[in-house]
Amino acid sequence: MRTSSLLGILAATALLTGNALADTKLRVFVGGSGQRPDLMRKLFDQYQAKHQGVTIESETGGATSELQRQYLSTVLNAKDSALDIYMVDIVNPAQYAGAGWLEPLNAYVGEPATALKSYLPAYASANVIDGKVAALPAFADAMFMYYRRDLLEKYKIAEPKTWDELAAAAKKIQAGEGNANLQGLSIQGAPIEGAVCTFLLPYWSQGKDFNDAGGKLTLDKAAAVKGLDQWLSMVDQGVIKKNVAEVKTPDTVNEFKAGQVVFAVNWGFAWDRFAEDKDSKVAGKVGVMPLPAVAGGKSATCIGGWQWAVSAFSKNKPEAAKLVQFLASPEASKLLAVEGSLLPTSAAVYADPDVLKAVPWLKDAAAVVSAGRSRPQSRDYGQVSDVIRTTTSAVLARTKKPDEGVSEIESRLRRVMR
């Protein structure tokens, strides 16, 4: 073969390869407004600038994790290859892996011990299913105890370490303020996802596990009853309002923001609402602390957050896995924290000077998130969630007694979590 012909073939091959790269399009589902699609677009643009052959399209939808889960279930159940990457709630990797909807990432990122060593323990464990890396963390979240720092200072009260101490502090402040509308503590008791955490917070703080490493139910009924009794006792003391079984996440945010709550349990997004909303009456007056424990126990909180998964039906898995690695990197986490106050998933980013300058409260958030625990990982998480939240709400509404509710949770979930 003549040299000129060989060069022509090589040139043609290079051109075809270049066109193939130019045609690599990745479609990413980034969730709703709470997942900050605007910031994800910035990350996509950064990646595209460094990888000229890749085009990234984004898709949004679903105001809540439940609605997003319903949409993704429809798309993935149909084995639709249109989506290459999608964002899922921290409770979903086991469900999606069990359904065969996500691509295990070991072949692209290495074994779990290596690939996930830089992340906070709860995020490392939540994203490993049957020894495989099911997803990589996007950003963190957790249930925080917000409190009126100005009121605790006014009444010379230290941050309470137990729920009983919190109840006593709240009652002292309520009596001193003389405001009939001032709640001592706001938690979520409506049958929503937040009520799963409402059940788990006092239970975990007694040193109890809800399930073992394999996902099997390990419910300690006495501890679960004690946790629910703790909430009902605080209702009877006037610390928690009587219609707690109707309280949803936005209710807690809005009432605390209006100056009607001393202590409030809520997710990380609430900080910006308290600090930045024009109608906030508590801006500059809010503190964050670890959640109290049942007497004799240890603080525990419920983590949330979002993960990046590669679709099992993607036609661009290697390139999708590369993008996911970038999206889960410290570089990406820093941008999300600085520009969106989205919580990092690794301890190192919490200590970054630029992050702390932009979001000072993260110095207090780090300890809370580090001690966080994940809700039960189950291939049938939707059913697990439904049982816990509806039963917890019924107990708080006093249509079921605590021991009846716990027995119902055990009997219904023992068949699911085995």
The answer for residues whose C-beta is within 8 angstroms of residue 175's C-beta and 6 or more apart is none
Q: Is the pLDDT of residue 10 over 50?
A: no
Domain that holds residue 333: 3-141+305-373
- Residue 397 and residue 340 share a domain: no
Whole-model pTM over 0.75: yes
**What is the tens place of the pLDDT at every residue in 226-277?**
999 999 999 999 999 999 999 999 999 999 999 999 999 999 999 999 999 9
Q: What pLDDT sits at residue 164?
A: 97
- Residue 172 and residue 231 share a domain: yes
- Residue 129 and residue 160 share a domain: no
- Residue 363 and residue 266 share a domain: no
**What is the tens place of the pLDDT at every residue in 266-310?**
999 999 999 999 999 999 999 999 999 999 999 999 999 999 999
- Residue 164 and residue 87 share a domain: no
- Residue 409 and residue 393 share a domain: yes
- Residue 118 and residue 166 share a domain: no
Q: Is the pLDDT of residue 3 over 50?
A: no
- Residue 407 and residue 324 share a domain: no
CATH number of the structural domain spanning residue 112: 3.40.190.10
| Averaged pLDDT score across all residues of the chain | 92
What confidence tier does 2 reach under pLDDT thresholds 50, 70, 90? very low
Count structural domains, the chain: 2
